[in-house]
A and B are shown apart, each in its own frame.
Chain A
Amino acid sequence: MNNMIVSVNPHIYAKDTTQTIMRDVLIALLPAVFASVLFFGVKALLVEAVCVAVAVLCEWAFQKICRKPDTITDLSAAVTGLLLALNLPVDIPLWQAVFGSFVAVILVKQLFGGIGQNFANPAITARIIMLVAFSGAMTTWAAPAFSDAVSSATPLAILGAGSTEGLPSLLQMFLGARGGSMGETSCLALLIGGIYLMVRKVISWHTPVAFIGTVLVLTALLGQQPLYQVMAGGLFIGAFFMATDYTTSPPTPAGKLIFGVGCGLITVLIRVWGNYPEGVSFSILLMNILNPYISGWTRTKPFGGVQA
């Protein structure tokens, strides 16, 4: 007998692993982290650190208790924690941030079977739960640095109130000097991260372009200041980082386009006619629920396949 390995083909593999993909997402979020500190101070870094640490700790503890293989090294829990933090106001009480991370990792991710099994995006769902549970703290916005505006209301709230007074300039909007969740305000930082992910082939253009494009076109048709609408709220972070979540969005280009258009449509409906000023989170959650159906409708057509 010898000790040679016999296995099924292939015998070589691409370099990417779940860990390198998640590491790329973390790298892509660094500009947004930088912007959050720039506009909202060092406290932003503290919230981010707490969310990431709690998310990773929750995953580790859950798997220890359930005697499941440890997956914290795949970095997906860290991504969830950081995404959640970037979707929170900088002045969020830390215990609420801890609660949010717990909800994201334990309730939304691990209880459904862990990575790849959750039906909804953990960070988005946790944010929505926090928005309902802590509506005061979740809608109290600190005034950003480099802004003349004394008002700390978000641009969407200002637009929703039907005024343009205190509205930041388009350049301020793009750079991020406006009220909002600490990681969502800088479109520039998020765009850099999004482009990085596309260059690294972690995400494709379909979902973000369909999402942002739909919001642009619909708000223009409805006479809603489309450029402000596109850069305001959580659209960029949602379109590049949350709606592109592998597990909760369709795998095919056609599916991604439908998913993105659906997200854009629901976002505009909520922004224009809903009670909430912002609808990106809700739109992604609702489309997450539709994802299995969209994935089913948009299956690929096998090459040379004959319909039975």
Chain B
Amino acid sequence: MSITPKTKRRNLIAPAEPKTQRLLNRRKVLTGMAAGAVTLSMGPAFLRRASAATGPIKIGMPLALTGPIGIVGQQIKRSCELWAKMKNASGGLLGQKIELVVEDTGGNPAACVRKTQQMVDRDGVRIITGIVFSSEALALAPKLKEWNTIFMSSSNGDGRLTADALVPNFFRPNTSGPMGARTVSLHLRQSKSNKIAALGLDYAWGHNSVQVFEEEMKRAKKNFVGKLFAPTGTKDYATYIAKLKDLDADAVFLVLQGDDNNAFLSQAKQFRLGEKMELLTEIVDLDSIRAVGDASLGLMGSSRYSFTYNHPKNKEFVALWQKEYNNVPDTFEGESWQTMAVLEAGILKAKSIDAEPLRAALETVELESVKGKLTMRKCDHQAVQQGFMVKVVKREGFSHPVPDVVAVYPGDVTTPRCNKTSYDD
């Protein structure tokens, strides 16, 4: 299924009109008006630019802090705040303090674009991060060039952002949706389960991941028995559960999140679906596990980040987090931490926060992060990184079940081909 018309792709990566032309147009419009007024309006803008060069490093965060997915925005905010606090305590970056400019978008792309525009124009922000929804990210991406701003993704899973919809100033240090689907597929290759079904949310992310998964299953010579899509905000999953039973699958791949994920897992447990088939999910997170409690036990899936991953960098981070927040970090808290580590490495390498040198530096970042070895890929700005398969289990010392890492797949098999959302083998 083609998700976007061809022309749209072209427009997404088409360069914005040159700056000189814009200035020219402006002048045309201003013809007949007092020339002094021009300097009046341009003046403050120049002053702001100047102060941006010497002042603190401002990072714009247009986040969905309220609304149904507000929890993701809250996680990203917490993580970046801790990172900024740590950096500032040791003198900042390049001798400059870090300042986070946080705004609530409510998850609305229109508000997201408007507020980011304001951050760029008024606050002199040249780096943005934390955008929660793919719809917001897709709306912002075409504007990055005009704004001369770098977009560091920490939660955007939409595969196309590093494929068809890639723009030069976009970077994705986090795990994408197709990578999650791939990790589950790699796990299933070794599994006895043969009849496989999929259930995804009826929007771009769900369709994208299910499509990648279906191709994977066909290549693995599994019997793919069917795919279902539920509209976002579905309250009653009984009919989908009945259909999955009717398909008689051995395993089902789930691409659900937030309220939908919680509703499905709670109701699947009540219908004893887990006794009939293996439940595998694209994204396991603590927030959902806490919300559904024991109904999540036994669930397996890929994890974009788990605090249980055994790695020195991760242990250090979890200890720091526990000290600060008296809690363990969740998925997007770990992902944001990794994104900030990549950004930091890029800034130090470029010795600048200007888009041009920073972009060049980010394209070659290599580091050990909380998720292990990470290499930024120049060709599509996706970070090559490990994939984690986890199982939700009870563990002593925790009031809720926790995801336990059961398998780790190296970055070169979990990351798709350059500029693609699919895999070869």
Q: Do A and B come from one complex?
A: no
Q: Give A residues with C-beta under 8 Å from B.
A: none
Q: Give B residues with C-beta under 8 Å from A.
A: none
